[in-house]
Each structure stands twice: as C-alpha cells, then as structure tokens.
Structure 1
C-alpha cells in the first residue's frame, strides 16, 4: 500500500511541476488576450516580450484550453503587426500564428473567435478562397451573437457576403442589427457605408426590431457623415437631415 501511495505522490508532484507554470501564466495571458480582443494596441516590443514569456511556460501533458486560446490570440496579433510593418519574417509569424490557432481549436472546438481567426489568417496569406468559407460558417454556428467578436467578424463577413450560405448571410444581418442594439453605432455605420454598402438594403431591413433610440442614433451618425438611407421606423420628420 505504501509503495502505491508513494507512486501517487510522485505522480502528483510531476503533475504540479508541469502544470503549475501554466496556471501562473494563464491569468496574465488571458488578460492580454482580452485586451487584444477589444482592439487595445500594444507596442511591438511588448508583444515580443509577452510571446517570449508564454514560450517559457513548460508544455504540460494536460494543456489548458484557456492558455492555448490566449497564446493563439497573442500570436495572431503579433503576426498582424509584423505583416503591417512588412518585416521579412512576416511569413514565419503567420506560420506560427496559424499553427497556434489550429492547436487551440483542438482544445476549444466551439470557440467562434478562433474559427474566425483561422479564416482570417488563411485569407491574409492566400487570398479569398470559396473552399475556406466553411471556417466562417463555423464561426457563426458556434457563436452567432457575440458583440466583441462582431467588431471584427461582421466586416470580414460582409466582404464575402454574396458567396455565403443563406444561413450565414442571415447571421451576418442579425449580427449587424445586434451591433446597433449594443450601441456599437460608429462601428456598424462604418460597416454599412464601407464593405456593406452594396448590401445596405438588406442590412437596414434587418434593424426593424432594434430599439428605436438606437436606430435614431444610427440615423444621426449617418447624417453627420452625409449618408442618406431609409431606416425602418425613422420617419422623414424624425431624421436629423
């Protein structure tokens, strides 16, 4: 019995040795990932330092999904920043980011943001590909209405809107309406007047159930920018133009 207890004790010690460093890294990694998701900006040197710290964590036989997700998000942002700067090792950063996203998805298969990022990374590297739209479909299927994801996803999806399935198109339209309802007015207006302009009638038709005050705020923002469109429930006399 005593040898068995010793064996269990040794196993526990080994588990702690491997996993505790990940627990220690998990909280700050998730904090950084959360800031990235709301589009906080980091200096390139800061991201490099964060990645170095994450890489120092020992790889556990029980890799925590939250840590893997956070690491993938940080790698994505680092790759995006490097690509913008046109560094010569941009391809390397993209390779690492894609590998991290795929690894994180193995542990977080229902994470809509990771599916979106896999689609985004592939599109950035290889251009638009109809065969990859299932990644975008999967993002909407696993998380159709998530405000912080909508900030990035709605714009990306509108770029591919006519090629999406009917179900995903409906999700994109609902997401746009939810952005307005969540008071993300400036972002929704930018999507409407930018990549979504060709689909403005469909987008605006879907806001009929949005809170009237939110629709009025949208009308005000569009008027400020000199954009005249018909918004459901906003009469001509109510419009600020």
Structure 2
C-alpha cells in the first residue's frame, strides 16, 4: 500500500518536473532570443554614454549586426536608442577619416536615427543632449538648437554620467541659456560636487565656468562637506583659493 502511494507521488512529481522543464524550454526558445538581441545593444549604449572608446571600425561592424536584427520588425526603444548612439559614434569616426561629403551623409543619417528614437522615447535626456551636440557640430552654434539642450535638462536634470558631459557643454554657452536652464546647470554642478565628481567639477569651474564661479560656488552650500573640501584642495593645488561654503580659506602662501 505504502509502496503504491510512493510510486504514485513520484510519478506526479516527475510529471510536474517534466512540465516545468518543458515550460522553461519553451520560455527560453521564445523569450531568450529577445534578451540576446537586447543585451549587446544595451551594453553598447551604456559604453557610449560612458564615453568609452571603440577600435576604429569595430562599432560599424557591431552596428551592422544590430540593424540586421532590427530589420523587418518594430524595434524596442532600447534597440532604437542603441542604433542611434552607435550611428552617432560612427559619424564621429567618419568626420576624422573620410571626405566631408561622406561625413555629412553619416551625420545626417545619425540625426534621423536620433530623432526616430526620441519619437519613441521623448524623455531620454542623453539623446536630447546628443541631438544638440551633433547639430552644433554640423552647423555651428544656433540659438534654435538650444531647445534640445533645454529638453535634455527638462527630461533628466539628475543624470550621473550624462551630467559630466552636459555640464561642461552648458557652461560654455551659459549666458545664452534661459533662466530655468541656467538654474538647472548650476544645480547640476552642485550635484556633481555632492556626488564626489570633484575632478570634473574643478575642471569645469576653471574652464568654461570661470566667469560664473561665484554662482557655482554659492550653490555648494548643500553639497557634502567632504566633497567641498576635496574641491577646495583641488583648486588650491592649482593656486586658486576661492571661498567655498563651510571651508575656511587658507591664506598661507606655502600651502
């Protein structure tokens, strides 16, 4: 009696395991290819956002693979984003090693990809920043393009690695920005210091941000005190001693 019951439950358990295994196989067949397609694209996009460098021509080969997966189907937003960013980087390569006509065609194609991606993901602050950057590179500074930079800040005012590139660009044209965007740029600088991106903040301050140093430093009152001290020391190492909230100015010339 006991053996028959045990045999029964073992059979049931084997059936459940088989069903579970079968469902896993089915899931892997249907779902995993989508993940396989997306993961390389998302990795590429992340590396481009972090401003990683690729071997010359390598990104064009990867892009061809991504586009072959994309052909004939509606693309997920992440894939559209990856294609747009990859084409932008390929266009940068073209500007360095091809004729101006070929580079112009590459840039035009990249701009169209960026706009297509933004039509699907209008809150992508990095794509808005790249659209501003590439249009400025292609046609020179134009007040009309500032709307792309404004939209980048509106879509993502706190964006980590994006801020490191965006803040420098924005300080370079700070006087032409509207009041709301200027406030966002100042706040972004404070967030960079608070997050301990002291080296980037110091370079921005000593470079394009120098005419606006009083506003930038005044905003640091709420930044982490240790990061403020780090910024003070970094500037002092360059012979620059500026008042930073909560940090006493060392007037000794040998320090």
Question: Where on the TM-score scale, by shorter chain, does this alignment land: which range?
Answer: 0.7 to 0.9
Q: Deviations over 1:159-198 (max 9, x none)?
A: 1111111111000000001111111111111111111111
The 8 Å contact of residues 241 and 249 in structure 2, kept in 1 or not, is answered as no
TM-score for the superposition, normalised by structure 1: 0.86
Q: State the partner residue of 1:62.
A: 74
Q: 1:123 to 1:138 in 2, by over 3 A?
A: same
Q: Aligned residue for 1:210?
A: 223
Cα displacement (A) at 1:236: 1.6
Alignment match, 2:47? 35
Decide which moves more: 228-237 or 196-205. 228-237
Q: Answer whether contact 2:242 2:249 (CA < 8 A) is retained.
A: no
What's the CA shift for 1:237? 3.8
Larger-gyration structure (1/2) = 2
* 1:80, distance to aligned residue in structure 2 (A): 2.2
Deviations 1:204-227 (A, max 9, x none): 111111011000001111122222
Q: Deviations over 1:39-70 (max 9, x none)?
A: 21111121121112122224344321011011
Equivalence for 1:4: none
Q: Secondary structure at the match of 1:57?
A: helix
Counterpart position of 1:236: 249
Report the CA distance between 1:20 and its aligned residue: 8.5
Task: Give yes or no for the alignment of 1:160 onto 2:177.
Answer: no
Deviations 1:90-127 (A, max 9, x none): 21221121111001001101111111111111101011
Match of 2:158 among 145, 158, 162: 145
Unaligned runs of 5+ in 1: 1-15
Of 224-233 and 146-155, the range deviating more from structure 2: 224-233
TM-score under structure 2 length normalisation: 0.81
Q: Residue 7 of structure 2 corresponds to which residue in structure 1? A: none
Within 5 Å, which residues of 2 pair with 1:60-139?
A: 60-83=72-95, 85-88=96-99, 89-139=102-152
CA drift of 1:228 comes to 2.6
Root-mean-square deviation (CA, aligned residues, Å) is 2.2
Q: CA deviation at 1:81?
A: 3.0
Task: Give the unaligned 5+ runs of structure 2.
Answer: 1-28
Q: Could you tell me how far apart the structure 1 residues matched to 2:104 and 2:32 are?
A: 33
Q: Contact conserved, 1:22 with 1:57, CA < 8 A, in 2?
A: no
Establish whether residue 179 from structure 1 lines up as the match of residue 192 from structure 2: yes
* 3-state DSSP of counterpart to 1:144: coil
1:227–1:90 distance in 2 versus 1, CA, 3 Å: farther
Residue 8 of structure 1: aligned partner: none
Q: Distance in 2 between matches of 1:25 and 1:130?
A: 39
